[in-house]
Structure 1
Amino acid sequence: MERINLNYANLGPDQFERLIVSLCMKILGVGVQGFAKGPDGGCDAKFIGTAQHYPSDKNRWSGTMIIQAKHTNGFYSSCSDKKFYSEKSSHTVIGEEIPRIKKLRAAKQLDYYMLFTNRRLSATANTKITEYISKQCEIPVESISLCGLEKLDMYFNHFPEAVHHAGLDPVDSPLIVRTQELAEIIEALAQFKEKGCQVLRDHSPVIRVPYKEKNEINQLSQEYEKEWRRIYLKEEVFIRNFLAAPENTRFVEIYTSTTEHFRFKIIAKRKDHQSFDALVEYLMDLLFNRASVLAQSGHQSLTRALLFYMYWNCDIGKKVDNTEEAEDAASNETLTS
């Protein structure tokens, strides 16, 4: 039988939850109740009864099992990452769940706790996190189960039908973009900035959609665009200089390819985000999670600046339909803060 290799990072959180419910129906039973938001905003699945196969056929859990699914779109994410777990911080994935687990435990609505994630989980991290949850929530260690990427792969190859029953549809997948080309540009931009390179700019007028109108048709909030423009508009000259430098012809081609890729991906998935603000922030999280080059502290600001430049330059985002009106308005446009 062909081995199943799922790219969990390219799934959306809802798709990942469906996968976990389908898997739990196999190892616990068909009575698993799907993920639903609670009054405190948390999202749990639940099984009440005696598990069919967990943790083993001879020693099965019996009681109320609370199931959580923690998805990440990062390729190399680990349960050892400080944003997932840190004993010194409550502002982590695990830390933020502790009060909810305690509440369920105190209300006698939790006998066993199961957490599934597509992060890598080492034996050391498994022990540390399990003991931390046990201590904080007064749950026996043997009543806690953490399942990371490696174990998920093992489960889905043992229960391949669980993948089929989850009914994953590529159309439902989230906005996913390539990061390698953008990382190349950011590295080159950083070097260009460090050297203090300058290029004589082309001062001919650039015809584009009026900025305020562009914000309206893209549903970019006034508060977000003002802050975006305040911080990153000053980098527009620098980025334009970089792209105008004769030695950077290759990066112009990469930039064009990247913006074209982003533009069509954004069009296809725009409906999944209520505002352009949310879409931009989703993109930033995705880029930083997937490319270590972009996640570097010195490169994060450049990455945000380049995305602003793409929007400012009308390489991404909606444009007005009437081109002639846009050109006339652009020639007379004066931006006011």
Structure 2
Amino acid sequence: MLRFPLHDLSDSEFEKLVGLICHKLLGPGVTTFARGKDRGKDAKFIGTAQVFPSPTNPAAGKFVIQAKHRASPVGTCSDYEFETKTLNEELPKIRRMFDDGELTHYILFTNRRKTGGAEDRIAKRVLDETGVKDFWLRGFEDIESELLLHPDIVRAVGLDKLRSPIMFTPNDLRDVIMALYEHRQNLPDSFDSEHDFRDYPGIEVKNSVNGLSAVYFDYIRENSMMHFVAIEDFLKNARNRTIKEQYHAVADELKGQLIVHRERFSAFDDALEHLHHLIPERSPGIAVASHRPLLKIVIHYMYVNCDIGRKAPLS
């Protein structure tokens, strides 16, 4: 599944993106974001929408569109900062605009992820407190769907340059990390020389072929290698067959993607670190501090176990 780093856009770039999406949904009459009398930045549209909320039942009236950007990949619409603070600031303005006859429909875009409960609560509050006829909350998932339909918008705002080309199934890796996290009491907290992978047959050749530095491999050995046997035992356990299948499926996806996009990284150190930052963006469920160290250990295990990276020079 593709993901777009909307958090890496500036506020003005996000507003441009929202404006372009609204051109597709509502029509070419959408105005650009501009400051209103209350100093808030809104885009507007008056008329009948082309395909929103659906092609068969388009809404008609006076639309006000707002864009709320967060410079972080982590965040939901149920966060206090958004559900309470942002609405407290914006709803009185929307009410004044409604009373002045400036809008009948309100659309709020955000790069936060929607949660079912928050979406319902926010919609009820907006409708109750502003008097608008209709309200729509468009979150990260909605924006992503539009970007997948309209790659021209992706290029127009430069997301094609920001988005990592590496593709994989994030939910599989999320399940692996969460299962291992539940199993964490069996992971050793100190190095056991009996399980030193330094003598893994061909590891020096593998490091050389892939361009992994000696310094980074020492980092793997000192910080991750002590956990490899426990991970290996966990994956070999017949009770964990589904997790094992998910592990090998996503490892195979990553292996192929790293081969295809190897030229983007000056060293394989960079490729492994890129995965560690990319994966939580694609799967926020493992972006929490308690899961990220385990994610890095699993990435290192994939490399040393030859699940990712080339084993030998090209013939």
* TM-score, structure 2 normalization: 0.50
